[in-house]
Every structure is written in structure tokens, then in C-alpha cells.
Amino acid sequence: MLGPLYDPREMANTPAQLLAALRGTPAYRRLFAQAFPDAFAADDARIQLDQLYTALTAFQASLVSLNSRYDHYAHGYADALTAREQEGLNVFRSFVARCAECHTPPLFTNQQIAVIGTPEPEGLPFDPGAQLSLGEPSQRGGFRIPTLRNIALTAPYMHSGRFATLRDAVAFYTGGRGHAVPEGEDLKIHWHIWEPRLRDEEIDALVDFLHTLTDESLKPAEPTLLPSGLSAMHGPQ
């Protein structure tokens, strides 16, 4: 979580500013004292960064998504998926599409690094080192393969939000190996990215299947007001 917290293009915070905000909010001081009673045994104890990181990690670990309709199907309930969704599952795990090679069930990721040659939004220059550089120039532009669980809820897609819809993102992979990479760029595209040439009906079925990976059954209720007094729904303008 350190990236989003301190990246100037995301939350743009600093450790000192973050601690000042937390320590200056009575509700946060009370909550941290409840979560870390041993550390707050002394009267002069204050919130520390390691406590914040531990709390954020504990919360993120609670965001479990393993009760989707796909999971019901995988556990033997055949009617959990429609015929069209089952067709999409067959496309997903076929040797032609090869989706499951990288997005391997049950986590729908193999935790590896892959270079796929994703395009940038219109008008922006190609960024070969976006998000993650592997160190070697021939391997620039790599990403850790993300899970597809709840993928229907996370638009827009790709590192730059290039694709507004899930169908657009899926269709990108049918365009051919490296088709969106500018001429002269030396990217080592992952070997599973090739030219599946899926038909429109196969792409549609695949997208329908991806929607079955949605599961928010353990999602906590979103507060309308934060301990700081800020609105949780809109935040500062």
C-alpha cells in the first residue's frame, strides 16, 4: 500500500503529513488504541506508521472473494452458470484463447510478470516502462498479472485505463501479438499472447463468463462519514 499512499499521482501524501492527520484526530487515536492496546499502554503513546501498515494489511486481507457463481459451478452446482456462460468458460480455458494460462483458477492469476504491449490512451506517448520495469531494456513494460475476480467492477482496464469496457479489453487480445506496440519498440511480448482470432460471439461469451467471477458477499459496508469528518463517498474536492 506504500505506493498509492505516497505516489504524487495518487494520494500524494507523506509519512509526516499522514501521521499528523491521524494523531490529530481523536477518533483515530481511540481506534488505534483499541487495535494496539499494548503499544498504547503508556500515556504518551502515539500512532506509528507500522501500526497503520498493519491495520491496512489486516483490512485488505479481509476482502475475500471466493463465493461467486463461478465458484458454485466449480463446486459442482452445474446450474450456477447459464449455457452461454459455460461456453465462455470453455473459451477461457481453451488452448486457442489461453486465458487460463496466465489467469489460472482459483485465484485467476499465476502471479507472474508479463509484457502484453497494451496501448496508451489516444494522444499520449507510449510508455514502455509503465507501472513496473524489470531492469533489462528488452523486458520493459512488464506487469504482475492481476486477478480477474470482480473484474467486471474495475473498469476502466489496462495500466492506463485505455479500455472503457470489459469487452474492449478482451478484444484487445485478438488483435495479434504486439499489434499495439509502436514501430521500433523492442518489447518481449509474453509467449502466451498470440493471435487467437476469436469470433464476436466467442468474445461475447467470454465476457459473460467473466461477469460470473463477481462476488461482493463479504464486502464491508461503506461508511458515509470518516473519523476525520470527511465524506467517504466524495472526499475533498
Instruction: List the CATH number of the domain containing 150.
Output: 1.10.760.10
Strands (E), 81-223: 113-114, 143-144
Number of domains in the chain: 2
* Confidence band, pLDDT 50/70/90 cuts, at residue 236: very low
Residue 216 domain-assigned (yes or no): no
Tell me, yes or no, whether 155 and 178 share the same domain: yes
C-alpha cell at 76: 459442482
Whether residue 232 has pLDDT greater than 80? no
Work out the percent of the chain whose per-residue pLDDT is above 70.
Answer: 92
Contact 236, 230 (CB under 8 A): yes
Q: Do residues 54 and 82 both lie within one domain?
A: no
Output the pTM of the full model.
0.80
Residue 213, φ and ψ in degrees, nearest 5:
-90, 5
- The reply to whether 39 and 74 lie within a common domain is no
- The closest of 61, 59, 48, 40 to 22, measured between CA atoms, is 48
What count of other Cβ atoms lies within 10 Å of the Cβ of residue 197? 11
Q: Quick one: which of 7, 21, 56 has its CA closest to 35?
A: 56
Contact 231, 111 (CB under 8 A): no
Q: Which three cell numbers stand for residue 216?
A: 461482493
pLDDT on residue 129: 64
Asked whether residue 236 is domain-assigned, the answer is: no
- Statement to judge: residues 169 and 189 lie in one domain: yes
Hey, what's the cell of 36? 494496539
State the pLDDT at residue 234: 55
In the numeric block, which cell numbers belong to residue 114?
508479463
Question: In which domain, by residue range, is 36 found?
Answer: 2-61
Rounded to whole angstroms, how far apart are CA atoms 87 and 206?
Answer: 7
pLDDT category of residue 137 using cuts at 50, 70 and 90: very low
Is residue 173 within 8 A of residue 196, CB to CB? The reply is: yes
Q: Would you give the end-to-end CA distance of the chain in angstroms?
A: 23
pLDDT 10s digits, 61-100: 998 999 999 999 999 999 999 999 999 999 999 999 999 9
On whether both 184 and 73 belong to a single domain, the answer is yes
Average pLDDT over residues 5-12: 91
Average pLDDT over residues 199-210: 97
